[in-house]
Amino acid sequence: MLQMNMANIKWILKLLTVILILNCVILFYYIRERNISGDETRNDVSQLRCTKVRQTFSVYTPAITDMMSFSEKVSELLSCPYKSNIIQKELNRALLRSCCNATDYLYLTKQNTAVHQKLPYESDVYPNYTMNEALHNLLPEAFPWSERRLGRCAVVGSGGILKNSNCGREIDSADYVIRFNMAPINNSDVGLKTDLITVNPSQILRGYRNAQKKPGPLMQRVSVYGNASLIMPAFASPLNTRTSISTLKALWPPSPQLRVVFFSSSYLKALDHFWKDHGLKGRRLSTGFMLINSALELCDHVHVYGFWPFDINLEKQTVPHHYFDNIGPKVGIHSMPEEFLRLLQFHSQGALTLHLQPCS
Ligand SMILES: *[C@@H]1O[C@H](CO)[C@@H](O)[C@H](O)[C@H]1NC(C)=O
Ligand SMILES: *[C@@H]1O[C@H](CO)[C@@H](O)[C@H](O)[C@H]1NC(C)=O
Ligand SMILES: *[C@@H]1O[C@H](CO)[C@@H](O)[C@H](O)[C@H]1NC(C)=O
Ligand SMILES: *[C@@H]1O[C@H](CO)[C@@H](O)[C@H](O)[C@H]1NC(C)=O
């Protein structure tokens, strides 16, 4: 019994010695290898740096105090390889779908709205709007995404960073392109493809007040968007409702796909509540931020262009307010930097891709 144990112990000791020697040999070659190239060490260091900078932005920090160091951090984040995170994406999709449901309610359709249905306004100060049969007949049947899955989406803001960006081709290669406020399009910087574009009722009142009687100029103006849906915040106020309905009628019948659609106010209200619950403090979400949220729910992957709410770019050059003009926003309505920090958070989590630099 005892002898057998002794034999066992000897055998185990021998085995351990062999393992130890093997380990030493492996360690020796490993160290030699790394010292020869040095690349891996550098890779490890930069990977660590990227993990750290992603962590910095994935926790929401409420304020930007020093623009210079903020810009440097953002540049550092963008120099790290983008890491898509399917779990985070699906989590966001599920959260947004259960709160707000753009999939079934982004805008009014014959399917999601009934004749005589009472539609709330975005603000509770106005009485509900009752859907009538005449308007119901002019609503689209269904959403394009109920027929085809939206793979890669590009959400194209109007920020000055897009000027001379050369991003047109990249944007046009997306499956679904969202734009804002009838922004001008051109193939070099912002691309031409447009599937959904917002129209601000104030743009109609300013330039096309008589569109219903004389639709020519407005038709001409929007014909550049080909087959897009023009989406209007018809239930922000009764004036918006009148303007949106007259725009819809001016551009009727749809030709062949270009048509006017109305944001569903219950969707926008739900999204507003969702973000207030998550700590966003602006008076109203910007339309850009709203439609990025819709895209996060509808698209497999979301690429965001032209969102940079500061007047100095990452190369420390001054940028105009928009890629097409330099007219600033009304102050105090939106909370752009706050929303932008959420976009950085999404980017660092791998839930969407922010493009802040020129395209190659
Ligand atoms: C979204 O709305 C549709 C239509 O009302 C409904 O069938 C679906 O269950 C809703 N989705 C969620 C996640 O609430
Ligand atoms: C609008 O209708 C909703 C129910 O759909 C109701 O709760 C709300 O009080 C109505 N609002 C007004 C201003 O009439
Ligand atoms: C509009 O759609 C039609 C058919 O769906 C297509 O042939 C045409 O190329 C599209 N036009 C634009 C400008 O995208
Ligand atoms: C596209 O738009 C940008 C920004 O407005 C402008 O600088 C550029 O010259 C335009 N390019 C073309 C081909 O129109």
Report the nearest atom of ligand 2 relative to the CA of 126. Answer: 13
**Buried residues in 168-193 as b, exposed as e (16+ CB within 10 A):** bebbbebbbbbbbebbebeeebbbeb
Residues 95, 126: contact at Cβ < 8 Å? no
Domain boundaries, the chain: 1-49, 67-355
Instruction: Note the CATH number of domain 67-355.
Output: 3.90.1480.20
Tell me how far the alpha carbon of residue 169 lies from the centroid of ligand 3, in angstroms.
18
For residue 190, give both structure tokens. Answer: 């912002």
Ligand nearest to the CA of 167: 4
Single-letter amino acid, residue 93? R
How far is it, in rounded angstroms, from Cα 185 to Cα 194? 9
Q: Pocket of ligand 2, candidates 105, 121, 128, 235: which has the most ligand atoms within 8 Å of its Cβ, to mutate?
A: 128
Q: Going residue by residue through the chain, which has 360 residues, state the pLDDT in tens, using 9 for 90 and above.
A: 445 565 666 666 676 666 666 665 556 555 555 554 555 667 888 899 999 999 988 887 656 778 888 899 999 999 999 999 999 999 999 999 999 999 999 999 999 999 999 999 999 999 999 999 999 999 999 999 998 889 999 999 999 999 999 999 999 999 999 999 999 999 999 999 999 999 999 999 999 999 999 999 999 999 999 999 999 999 999 999 999 999 999 999 988 779 999 999 999 999 999 999 998 887 789 999 999 999 999 999 999 999 998 888 999 999 999 999 888 765 544 556 889 999 999 999 999 999 999 998
d(CA 339, CA 356): 15
Q: Is there an atom of ligand 2 within 6 Å of 119 CB?
A: no
Ligand 2 contacts CB of residue 128 (under 6 A)? yes
Closest residue by Cα to residue 298 from 192, 157, 158, 175: 175
Instruction: Tell me the DSSP string of 232-289.
Output: E-TTSSHHHHHHHHHHHHHTPSPBTTBEEEEB-HHHHHHHHHHHHHTT--SSS--HHH
CA of 186 to the centre of ligand 4 (A): 6
Question: Ligand 2: does its nearest atom lie under 6 Å from the Cβ of 118?
Answer: yes
75 C-alpha to ligand 1 centroid (Å):
40
Catalytic residue positions, numbered: 334
CB 139 within 8 A of CB 234: no
Instruction: Confirm if 236 and 121 have CB atoms less than 8 A apart.
Output: yes
Give yes or no for residue 324 CB within 6 A of ligand 4.
yes
Atom of ligand 3 nearest to the CA of 226: 13
Q: Which atom of ligand 3 is nearest to the CA of 225?
A: 13
